[in-house]
Structure 1
Amino acid sequence: MKVLIAIDSFKGSISSIKGSEAISLGIRDIYPEAQIVTLPLADGGEGTVETLVQATNGKLVKKEVIGPLKEKVEAIYGILGDEKTAVIEVAAACGLPLVPYNQRNPFFTTTYGVGELISDAIEKGCREFVIGLGGSATNDAGIGMLQALGFRFYNMNNEKVGVDGQALTDIWKMDLGHVNTKLKECTFRVACDVKNPLYGPDGAACIFGPQKGATPEMVGQLDKGLKHFAEFVLDKLGIDINQIEGAGAAGGLGAAFSGFLHAHLQSGIELVLEIIEMEKSMQGIDFVITGEGKLDGQTSMGKAPLGVAQLAQKHGIPVLALAGGITEETAALNKLGVTSYFSIVNTPMTLEEAMDPKVTFSNLRSTTNQLFRLLQAVRTGVKT
Structure 2
Amino acid sequence: MSIDLLGLEPWKWRRGRLLTHPPTKGPPMTLDAKHQSPALSIAIVPDSFKGSAGAGAVAQAMARGARAAAQASGRDVDITTLPFADGGEGTLDAVMDAWKTEARSVATTDALGRRVTARYGLSRDGTTAIIEAAEANGLPAVSDVPLRPLDASTYGIGALVDEALTEGATEIVLCLGGSATTDGGTGLFNALGARFMDAHGNQLPPGGGSLEQLASIDVSGVDARVFEVSWKIACDVTDPLVGPLGAAAVFGPQKGAKDADIDVLDAGLRRLAAVIGEVTGRHLGEAPGMGAAGGLAVSLAGFCEVELVPGWELVARILNAREILEAADLVITGEGRLDSQSLHGKVVNGVRLASRPETDVIVIAGSVELSPEELAEAGILAAYSIAHGPASLKELSEGAIELITHTSYSVVRTYLAVAVPYLKKRLTVP
Q: Aligned pair 1:15/2:54, yes or no?
A: yes
Shift, 1:213, TM fit? 1.0
- From the superposition, tell whether residues 9 and 112 of structure 1 become closer, same or farther in structure 2 (CA, over 3 Å): same
In the aligned structure 2, how far is the partner of 1:308 from the partner of 1:324? 18
- From the superposition, tell whether residues 181 and 284 of structure 1 become closer, same or farther in structure 2 (CA, over 3 Å): closer
Please tell me whether the aligned partners of residues 242 and 286 of structure 2 are also in contact (alpha carbons under 8 angstroms). Answer: no
Q: Which amino acid aligns with 1:355?
A: S
Shift, 1:360, TM fit? 1.2
In the aligned structure 2, how far is the partner of 1:160 from the partner of 1:284? 55
Q: Which amino acid aligns with 1:325?
A: S
Partner SS, residue 57 of structure 2? helix
Shift, 1:327, TM fit? 0.9
Please tell me whether the aligned partners of residues 128 and 188 of structure 1 are also in contact (alpha carbons under 8 angstroms). Answer: yes
Please tell me whether the aligned partners of residues 332 and 361 of structure 2 are also in contact (alpha carbons under 8 angstroms). Answer: yes
In the aligned structure 2, how far is the partner of 1:45 from the partner of 1:379? 35
Q: Aligned pair 1:324/2:366, yes or no?
A: yes
- From the superposition, tell whether residues 333 and 266 of structure 1 become closer, same or farther in structure 2 (CA, over 3 Å): farther
In the aligned structure 2, how far is the partner of 1:77 from the partner of 1:125? 14
Q: Aligned pair 1:105/2:148, yes or no?
A: yes
**What RMSD over aligned residues (CA atoms) do the two structures have, in Å?**
1.6
- 1:367 paired residue among 381, 389, 407: 407
Runs (4+) of structure 1 exceeding 6 A deviation are: none
Please tell me whether the aligned partners of residues 138 and 250 of structure 1 are also in contact (alpha carbons under 8 angstroms). Answer: yes
In the aligned structure 1, how far is the partner of 2:242 from the partner of 2:345? 24
CA deviation profile, 1:269-319 (whole Å, cap 9, x unmatched): 1111121111211354221101111100001112101111122233x2111
- From the superposition, tell whether residues 284 and 109 of structure 1 become closer, same or farther in structure 2 (CA, over 3 Å): closer
Structure 2 residue aligned with 1:346: 388
- 2:314 paired residue among 260, 268, 271: 271
Partner SS, residue 245 of structure 1? coil
Single out whichever of 82-91 and 257-266 deviates more from structure 2. 257-266
Structure 2 residue aligned with 1:203: 246
Shift, 1:375, TM fit? 3.1
- From the superposition, tell whether residues 204 and 380 of structure 1 become closer, same or farther in structure 2 (CA, over 3 Å): closer
Q: Which amino acid aligns with 1:26?
A: G
In the aligned structure 1, how far is the partner of 2:376 from the partner of 2:316? 21
- From the superposition, tell whether residues 328 and 339 of structure 1 become closer, same or farther in structure 2 (CA, over 3 Å): closer
In the aligned structure 2, how far is the partner of 1:361 from the partner of 1:203? 38
Please tell me whether the aligned partners of residues 280 and 303 of structure 2 are also in contact (alpha carbons under 8 angstroms). Answer: no
Structure 2 residue aligned with 1:296: 339
Shift, 1:260, TM fit? 2.6
- 1:57 paired residue among 94, 97, 100: 100
In the aligned structure 1, how far is the partner of 2:227 from the partner of 2:270? 27
Higher relative contact order (CA 8 A, sep 6+): 2
In the TM superposition, 1:161-240 aligns within 5 A as 161-240=204-283
In the aligned structure 1, how far is the partner of 2:372 from the partner of 2:100? 34
CA deviation profile, 1:311-352 (whole Å, cap 9, x unmatched): 2233x2111111110113574232233111111111211111
In the aligned structure 2, how far is the partner of 1:281 from the partner of 1:379? 21
Structure 1 residue aligned with 2:24: none
Partner SS, residue 86 of structure 2? coil
Structure 2 residue aligned with 1:87: 130
Structure 2 gaps, min length 5 = 1-39, 422-430
Partner SS, residue 24 of structure 1? helix
